[in-house]
Amino acid sequence: MWLRNEFFHIKKMNWRQKQKLHSTSIHTAWDEELPYSYMYPSNTTVDWADTDTPENAQYIKNIKYTFNEHGFRSDPFNIKSDINVLAVGCSMTVGVGVDQNENWPNRLKQKIIEKTQKSVSMWNLATSGASCDYVSRIIAKSISSLQPNLIVIFWPPISRLEIPTQYEGKIIQGFPHMDIFPKELVDEKYFIYNFRKNKLLVDAISKNYDIPIISNPVFEIDPLGRKFPFIKDTSGRDGQHPGPTWHENIANWYYQSWLYNYL
């Protein structure tokens, strides 16, 4: 159903996205603590977020973004369940453009509940614009506080990087074409090196804490050229992110390929 003009005036937004890329304070970036999101509001439910704005909306759909006490689209961190899963990634894991119960972490949560008949907490530390550097850093920061039973990663594009900057004392996530990145130092080999470095770090964390980690293959360096159900459909409301079918396929892939053996 195509948009009508009045769709843009359904509800005046009481909170509006002010920046597209995640950034966090340099002073606390590497502390071992349960972090706060500096991109999303805490304890808030909103109708729009990130690229999913009234201006970008491709069709009419009621979508809610609920952020927990730390500003993540996640179950509360202070409630432990029988099974506690930590999900990490970028906007694909946040689930921009789909409703709360449609993103792949929550679809995976439901599959685990149906399989085990146990309570499950899905702690989603994903943030839009995240890099592979963010994934390993946020796991290292939070692992001792959360102590999940399982970590599930959907790796962001390996060409997205993280860099500390003097600009407002922030850690910036972005692509090398941005002015702040030293382009002469970044090429395809660096992207591959940087991804492998981050993967080695999360593998080491997994081993140290005896917590299994499962993750998606990274197309850019998958030597076998295998095929996976990771082709984006175009049904996300913002027209830029995948829709519910993609998220369901991702959840099925994680569950059928890996999780079934753990449960």
CATH code: domain of residue 36: 3.40.50
Residue 18 counted as domain residue = no
Which has more pLDDT, 143 or 16? 143
Confidence band of 30 (pLDDT split at 50, 70, 90) = confident
Mean pLDDT of 79-84: 96
Residue 55 counted as domain residue = yes
Confidence band of 146 (pLDDT split at 50, 70, 90) = very high
Give the Å distances, CA to CA, from 42 to 14, 111, 159, 223: 14, 27, 29, 41
Whether 83 contacts 118, CB under 8 Å: yes
**Virtual CA dihedral for 76, 243, 50, 81, nearest 10 degrees?**
10
Predicted local distance difference test score (pLDDT) of residue 251: 95
Residue 195 counted as domain residue = yes
Residue 6 counted as domain residue = no
Residue 14 counted as domain residue = no
Instruction: Tell me the residue range of the domain where 239 lies.
Output: 23-262
Domain count, the chain: 1
Mean pLDDT of 173-199: 86
Mean pLDDT of 128-155: 95
Residue 225 counted as domain residue = yes
pLDDT at 7 over 50: no
Tokens of 18: 């002010």
Residue 11 counted as domain residue = no
pLDDT at 141 over 60: yes
